[in-house]
């Protein structure tokens, strides 16, 4: 009976087995939460990461960490010190800095990286979209006589619209604002998505909105206002996404699970 001298992680053939997954998910989206559910259901070791932008981020079925990593080097250190085997960037398409850092840190640290993102929304029959490149272009596009504008951009970019103070703005924040927004005429709704078309239809009607401004977030969680705008025949200022951050990307949770099972360590 041969004496077993090593219990290393290798198969009978001596080819090293892939490490037991320990997944870091960069979250903050509906898709990230769905992935967390799938990872928990599979019993895989995983952590979901939030930046700490809101007071009470959604509870998750896996351990959560909150706060920045400290740039690319900070994330690289986190990957190493926590023995992360797979990095899944499931952040919002406008979280461009986080996505760039994730790709760089994964490549520098030799950690398999995958983006879980949603396809951009595309205008359908009945949509009255005007595409603008960024927040600044959306502000410029609002030049003109007073209107009733739904600014469905959250809290971080409201200040830019002070350049167009003539409008009445409907704002929607996740948390109550600690300071009154800088816009002289506004209503503030505190609500977190995912939103429904029926509720957003009521909201647009109740506030007599005549134009909607939003980011091309994609996905289902923020789409309700577009369905409502289409039904009411309202124009939409659609802010296009930042440049694609690169790296392999998929659109579905089952593609991520397949990558974890088969693809990650073949460099695919």
Residue ranges in contact with ligand 3Y8 by CB under 6 A: 28-30, 33, 50-54, 57-58, 92, 152-157, 172-175, 192-195, 214-215, 217, 219, 221-222, 225
Select from 15-23, 24-32, 158-166, 181-189 the region that touches ligand NAP (CB under 6 A).
Answer: 24-32
109 makes contact, choosing from ligand 3Y8, ligand NAP, none, with CB < 5 to 8 Å by partner type, with none
Q: Is the peptide bond before 186 cis (omega within 30 degrees of 0)?
A: no
- Of the candidate residues 92, 167, 230, 241, the single one contacting ligand NAP (CB under 6 A): 92
Tokens for 242, please give them: 């930042």
14-30 as b/e: b if 16+ CB within 10 A: eeeeeeebebbbbbbbb
Indicate whether 195 belongs to the interface with ligand NAP (CB under 6 A): no
Indicate whether 30 belongs to the interface with ligand NAP (CB under 6 A): no
- Of the candidate residues 50, 129, 161, 259, the single one contacting ligand NAP (CB under 6 A): 50
Q: Which is nearer to ligand NAP, 57 or 112 (CB)?
A: 57
The least CB distance from residue 61 to ligand 3Y8, in Å, is: 11
Indicate whether 172 belongs to the interface with ligand NAP (CB under 6 A): no
168 makes contact, choosing from ligand NAP, ligand 3Y8, none, with CB < 5 to 8 Å by partner type, with none
The least CB distance from residue 68 to ligand NAP, in Å, is: 2
- Please answer whether residues 89 and 115 qualify as being in contact, where contact means their C-beta atoms are separated by less than 8 angstroms: yes
Angstrom distance (rounded) from CA 268 to CA 244: 19
Indicate whether 28 belongs to the interface with ligand NAP (CB under 6 A): yes
Select from 20-28, 168-176, 194-202, 253-261 the region that touches ligand NAP (CB under 6 A).
Answer: 20-28
Which residues are at the interface with ligand NAP (CB under 6 A)? Answer: 26-29, 49-51, 53, 68-71, 74-75, 91-92, 94-98, 101, 215
């Amino acid at each position: 009976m041969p004496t077993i001298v090593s219990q290393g992680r290798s198969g009978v053939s001596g080819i090293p087995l892939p490490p037991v997954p320990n997944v870091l998910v960069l979250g903050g989206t509906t898709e990230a939460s769905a992935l967390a559910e799938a990872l928990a259901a599979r019993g895989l070791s995983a952590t979901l990461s939030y930046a700490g932008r809101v007071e009470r981020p959604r509870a998750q079925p896996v351990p959560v960490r909150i706060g920045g990593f400290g740039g690319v080097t900070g994330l690289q250190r986190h990957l190493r010190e926590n023995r992360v085997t797979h990095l899944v960037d499931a952040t919002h398409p406008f979280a461009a800095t986080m996505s760039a850092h994730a790709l760089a840190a994964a490549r520098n640290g030799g950690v398999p990286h995958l983006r879980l993102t949603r396809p951009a929304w595309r205008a359908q029959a009945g949509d009255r979209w005007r595409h603008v490149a960024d927040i600044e272009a959306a502000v410029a596009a609002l030049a003109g006589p007073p209107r009733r504008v739904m600014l469905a951009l959250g809290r971080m970019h409201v200040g830019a619209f002070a350049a167009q103070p003539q409008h009445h703005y409907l704002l929607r924040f996740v948390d109550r604002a600690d300071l009154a927004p800088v816009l002289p005429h506004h209503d503030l709704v505190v609500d977190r998505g995912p939103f429904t078309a029926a509720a957003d239809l009521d909201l647009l009607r109740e506030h007599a909105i005549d134009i909607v401004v939003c980011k091309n977030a994609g996905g289902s969680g923020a789409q309700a206002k577009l369905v409502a705008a289409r039904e009411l025949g309202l124009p939409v200022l659609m802010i296009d996404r930042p440049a694609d951050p690169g790296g392999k990307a998929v659109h579905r949770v089952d593609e991520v699970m397949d990558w974890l099972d088969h693809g990650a360590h073949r460099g695919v």
